[in-house]
Amino acid sequence: MSVPALIAGCIEVILCTPCDKNGKINDAVLYAASISKISKIFKVGGAQAIAAMAFGTDTIPAVHKIFGPGNQYVTAAKQLVQNKVAIDMPAGPSEVLVIADDSCVPAFVASDLLAQAEHGPDSQVMLVCTSTKIANEVEKEIGKQMKDLPRKDIVAKSLKHSKFIILKNPNDAVALSNLYAPEHLILACKTSKNLLRQIVNAGSVFVGNYSPESAGDYASGTNHTLPTNGYAAMYSGVSLDSFYKKITFQQLTKTGLRSLAKTITTMAEAEGLQAHSNAVKKRISIK
């Protein structure tokens, strides 16, 4: 998150992050903040961090924009403060939808589903596949792989409200995916490239058997703060553009204003805004 802010030339970037019970912030977080030139770090997380950044406190400054994913409480808090501060999007809890046909590797698919499920008990993972055989093989792999996961209890809770859906073909699967608008969409099917033009709602798309969502989280270059809970139908993920604020400028000559005068006055008067029209007429009436 801090890298696009750094590239965009933001003057001040602050970080709010929870600490452990001993008041210590994870060393990896501190190192990343250091090389990304974070201005200030505050030991606070959750919805309370959102409130602090939106309204300001004695120690935490009020900011112009709040970026970053979180749990359902963080997401709700960000939406509540939108009238006070800009946010990137509703981002969290995490989710993934995998579209798979008989060319998929069930062990890979299972690992992708588990990767999202371990985020938290409110994460959701979806498999949309073209046969019962694929669904059964992926289910077996999930059972094998989750046994060794340190967060298997969290994974189990997440899987309780996750879904396996079987459809006739990948085209139908993409149609369903567009309705669901997943945060992460993985295409594990032989027609992946042919399906790309049909995808209209997704936070980030991972194409082929060797494009795990984990790559997008950590190393492949895309930002991993993405819209969830169907908001991919309306929002894009964070990018460099998210950190810019645009201002437009215009300067007209007298000749230029005359060439636009008829359009301006006609439209203004059609709206019943005579003063708008007069602001042009007064100028072009001077010789």
- CA–CA dist 108, 190 (Å, integer): 15
Q: pLDDT-derived band of residue 147, with 50, 70 and 90 as boundaries?
A: very high
Q: In degrees rounded to 5, what are phi and psi of residue 100? A: -135, 140
Indicate the burial class of 173 (C-beta count within 10 angstroms; 0-12, 13-18, 19 or more): buried
Query: Angle 274-284/254-270 helices, nearest 10 degrees?
Result: 160
Q: Does domain 2-87 have CATH number 3.90.1640.10?
A: no
95-242 adopts what CATH topology? Answer: Rossmann fold (3.40.50)
Domain boundaries, the chain: 2-87, 95-242, 254-284
Tell me, what's the pLDDT at 3?
87
Catalytic residue annotation: 183-184
Confidence at residue 192, expressed as pLDDT on a 0 to 100 scale: 87
- pTM for this prediction: 0.89
2-87 and 95-242 in the same fold: yes
* Position 101 pLDDT exceeds 90: yes
pLDDT per residue as tens digits for the range 165-192: 999 999 999 999 999 999 999 999 998 8
